[in-house]
Amino acid sequence: MTRWKMAVAVLVAIGAFFAGGWLLRKGMTSAPPADSAAVPVPGGTRLFNAVLQTVRSYAVDSLDESSIYKLAASGVLAELGDPYAALVSDRDTAVPPDQLGAKPVLGLYLDWSDGFVGVVSVVPGSPAAVAGARAGDVVLRVGATQISAQRPDEVARLIDEAKDSTVRVRLGRETMPAPLWVTISRGPTPEMPPPSVERPGTGPTIVRIHRIDSAAVRALAGVLDSAAARPRSSLILDLRGAVGGTLADAVAFADLLLAPGQTIVTARGRTGTASTPFLDQRPTPAPELPVVVLVDRGTAGAAEVVAGALQDHDRAALVGETTFGRGARLSFFPLGNGSSLRLTTEVWLTPSGRVIQRFIPPPVPEGSTDTLPDRPKFKTDGGRTVLGGGGVVPDREVPLDAEPSRASDPVLDAARQLLARASDRKALLAAVSAN
């Protein structure tokens, strides 16, 4: 028996243990006949078998055995708090393990967002961008289909496989009082734009990154080499909407700005297993260059690794919105019959120990007035307080306007103001901490 088969066998055995409890909580048990004597409730696989036999014998609307086992397996996965745990078809296993949802549909990158299917990012110039979809939107309906329990990959398939030349999508938007419909025309989706560099005569150099990849690493390296020769230079890294890229890409990108030996990110497996730290290898050509990183709710994955590392080591100030919260590696375990089990098997931690991945929050205790748990607090190298709890919280939050104006960019303006007051990185951190 191969190693993965053994792992699946163990998982199924464990699943049977928890599935019985889940079925009981779902109300699928039935009382034994009135004349039967009370007996202690069995445990483990005996409990599940007892529930299964009772449902078969006494439930008014029983289910076939295959459906019961499938519901039980889904129940086990639902109890994990893992937003990506699911039984999926083998065709969904082609996605790179650290880039869930790496392929956009009509320009939409979709993923889990606080229990809903949300828009992570939108490809500039894509059909979805032209229609008005924005990062942070929640997908409520695709045509006549209401979105309730569907996974992000299933919603993407609904959008992609619609037969008409246009597809109507109903979106919820935090800054709007009511949902809105957008009509997305079918057409080619452009690639994410390559990195762009703006070097004005005065003021900071602005590097716009849509994706952390080898091209982004080369662009940043060129900017830093030239900055090292320019006195009083500064840098704005615009990572808003940056989605995609691998963990290796993120490490190579952050390595250009951090000092040798500093931790960039730690990959942690299940509790009790060894963690793998990724350390900076090369000295940066501009160690005192003031850097501001722009982030928003569309900053996801590899870009969050970069932002978290620079913030924790006090290498840059972060401005904008809390990032999306996607920092995990997935594993697929084939089950046969064209299906696989998908599980999160690794999460990424910033140097201070913050988990980037945003997991499903625990239920609010009955009677509690709190709707969101408090974010845990961590410390940067210099003793500044930063917040965990999923995603990367910026040092200076700039709320998104209901409808962004093309004529102004308050996040970029805030970054410029900070850098205007900072001659070096130490002064920049003092400025961002001042209020």
Q: Report the percent of the chain where pLDDT is more than 90.
A: 43
Examine the pLDDT at 64 and tell me if it is beyond 80: no
For residue 265, the model assigns a pLDDT of 97
For residue 262, the model assigns a pLDDT of 97
For residue 21, the model assigns a pLDDT of 41
Examine the pLDDT at 208 and tell me if it is beyond 90: yes
pLDDT for 169-178, tens place per residue?
A: 999 998 888 9
Instruction: Single out the residue of 278, 285, 314 nearest to residue 431, CA to CA.
Output: 314
β-strands 396-397, 317-320 pairing: parallel
Residue at 338 is within a domain: no
Q: Which residues are within 8 A (CB) of 286 and not within 5 positions of it... i.e. 6 or more apart?
A: 224, 227, 228, 233
- Tell me: do 166 and 201 sit in the same domain: no
pLDDT for 218-271, tens place per residue?
A: 999 999 998 877 777 899 999 999 998 889 999 999 999 999 999 999 999 877
H, E, C per residue of 91-122:
HHHHCCCCCCCCCCECCEEEEEECCEEEEEEE
Examine the pLDDT at 50 and tell me if it is beyond 80: yes
Greatest mean pLDDT among 81-90, 193-202, 426-435: 193-202
**Quick one: CA torsion of 62, 64, 65, 67, rounded to 10 degrees?**
-100
Q: Report the percent of the chain where pLDDT is more than 70.
A: 82
For residue 364, the model assigns a pLDDT of 58
For residue 102, the model assigns a pLDDT of 59
Cα of 142 vs its chain's centroid, Å? 22
- Structural domain ending residue among the three candidates 185, 211, 240: 185
Nearest-angstrom CA–CA distance, 5 and 261: 39
* Averaged pLDDT score across all residues of the chain: 82
- The neighbouring-strand residues paired with 254 are none
Comparison of pLDDT for 72 and 32, the residue scoring more: 72
Sign of the alpha-carbon dihedral angle for 207, 433, 397, 266 = positive
Examine the pLDDT at 85 and tell me if it is beyond 70: yes
Nearest-angstrom CA–CA distance, 82 and 376: 19
Comparison of pLDDT for 244 and 41, the residue scoring more: 244
Q: Which amino acid is at 216?
A: A
- Tell me: do 245 and 298 sit in the same domain: yes
- Tell me: do 178 and 206 sit in the same domain: no
For residue 37, the model assigns a pLDDT of 47
- Tell me: do 257 and 305 sit in the same domain: yes
325, 417 Cβ separation under 8 angstroms: no
- Tell me: do 116 and 230 sit in the same domain: no
For residue 98, the model assigns a pLDDT of 55
- Tell me: do 171 and 203 sit in the same domain: no
pLDDT, average across residues 96-111: 74
For residue 23, the model assigns a pLDDT of 39
CATH of the domain at 154: 2.30.42.10
**Angle subtended at Cα 375 by Cα 269 and Cα 258, rounded to the nearest 5 degrees:** 60
Examine the pLDDT at 51 and tell me if it is beyond 70: yes
Residue at 85 is within a domain: no
Comparison of pLDDT for 384 and 274, the residue scoring more: 384
- Tell me: do 204 and 180 sit in the same domain: no
C-alpha distances in Å from residue 237, one per residue of 210, 253, 293, 376, 412: 11, 12, 5, 26, 10
- Tell me: do 121 and 248 sit in the same domain: no
Residue at 87 is within a domain: no
pLDDT, average across residues 201-223: 93
Comparison of pLDDT for 98 and 257, the residue scoring more: 257
Residue at 72 is within a domain: yes
Residue at 190 is within a domain: no
Comparison of pLDDT for 335 and 223, the residue scoring more: 223
Band the pLDDT of 14: cuts 50, 70, 90. very low
- Tell me: do 205 and 277 sit in the same domain: yes
Interhelix angle 65-78/44-58, nearest 10 degrees = 130
pLDDT, average across residues 87-116: 74
User: Which segment of 84-88, 96-100, 272-276 scores lowest on mean pLDDT?
Assistant: 96-100
| Long-range contacts of the stretch 261-267 (C-beta < 8 A, 24+) | 262/309, 262/313, 262/351, 263/309, 263/351, 264/305, 264/309, 264/351, 265/305, 265/308, 265/309, 265/348, 265/349, 265/350, 265/351, 266/348, 266/349, 266/351, 267/329, 267/346, 267/347, 267/348, 267/349
- The neighbouring-strand residues paired with 138 are 118, 172
User: Which segment of 131-135, 187-191, 323-327 scores lowest on mean pLDDT?
Assistant: 187-191
Cα of 435 vs its chain's centroid, Å? 29
Give the range of the structural domain holding residue 46, as residue numbers without chain letter. Answer: 3-79
pLDDT, average across residues 122-130: 92
Comparison of pLDDT for 91 and 1, the residue scoring more: 91
Residue at 387 is within a domain: yes
pLDDT, average across residues 44-63: 79
For residue 154, the model assigns a pLDDT of 87
Main-chain phi, psi angles of 275, to 5 degrees: -105, 150
**Across the chain, which distance is largest between two alpha carbons, in Å?**
90
- Tell me: do 180 and 216 sit in the same domain: no
Band the pLDDT of 33: cuts 50, 70, 90. very low
Residue at 237 is within a domain: yes
- Tell me: do 409 and 323 sit in the same domain: yes
- Tell me: do 10 and 116 sit in the same domain: no
- Structural domain ending residue among the three candidates 27, 62, 79: 79
Q: Can you point out the beta strands (E) in 283-431? A: 291-295, 317-320, 328-336, 339-349, 377-379, 385-387, 396-397
Residue at 381 is within a domain: yes
Main-chain phi, psi angles of 426, to 5 degrees: -65, -45
CA end-to-end distance (rounded Å), the chain: 61
Count of domains for the chain: 3
Examine the pLDDT at 214 and tell me if it is beyond 50: yes
Q: How many CB atoms lie within 10 A of CB 403?
A: 10
Band the pLDDT of 425: cuts 50, 70, 90. confident
- Structural domain ending residue among the three candidates 185, 208, 223: 185
Task: Decide: pTM greater than 0.85.
Answer: no
Main-chain phi, psi angles of 249, to 5 degrees: -60, -45
